[in-house]
Chains A and B, each alone.
Chain A
């Protein structure tokens, strides 16, 4: 079966522009996570969706960041008014009953 997919794989944008990053989780997985990986750093938790429950947004670094998950499947992470410090790899993961998180390949965001 297909794993977690993310698009685009690379995104270059200018400072101040908005960007949308997409995640397609593994079919049937009810939990979906967004993480950010900055150069030389570990993964930083951003937001967590579980089924139809309200998302856990405790990791979002500022109100410029938001995410939604439509129909319990595809998720979009939106960054408004991008800043250079937003440059990172954004990783999406999903998990099913077993709880193991399966990661996508990530979207590399570069803000010029």
Chain B
């Protein structure tokens, strides 16, 4: 059973546009929500992360919006660039658990010049 559901599976955005990727979860024991960026042939790299005590976190062009009551969180990439073309994974970690991450299935983002 997929603990973290991610959509869309793929996304094509024009350069300069906003890319939005959405994730949802059910388990209220999750207390840490990171987003990872993965380029082909590389391992995932942490992009930005949020805890449920805040509703938004921004780092440069990347923003996480978090809706605790709806159990949803999303990644917004502002002014999307061709170099942002990659696969993005949302994830969640359980409070008091083994620290392993539960990952969404990934979104392949393509930014067209």
Contact = CB atoms under 8 A, between A and B. Distances in A.
Task: Report whether over half of chain B's contact residues are helix, strand or loop; otherwise say mixed.
Answer: strand
Interface stretch (A13-21, A70-78, A80-88, A94-102): A94-102
B46 A45 contact: no
Contacts of B42: 105
Interface residues of B, number: 24
A44 B104 CA distance: 10
Contacts of B49: 100
A45 B41 contact: no
Interface of A: 4, 31, 33, 35, 40-45, 48, 50, 56, 58-59, 91, 93, 95, 99-106
Interface of B: 2, 4, 6, 32, 34, 36, 41-46, 49, 89, 91, 98-106
Given A42-B89, A95-B99, 10 more contacts: A33-B101, A40-B106, A42-B105, A43-B89, A43-B91, A44-B103, A50-B98, A56-B100, A58-B98, A106-B43
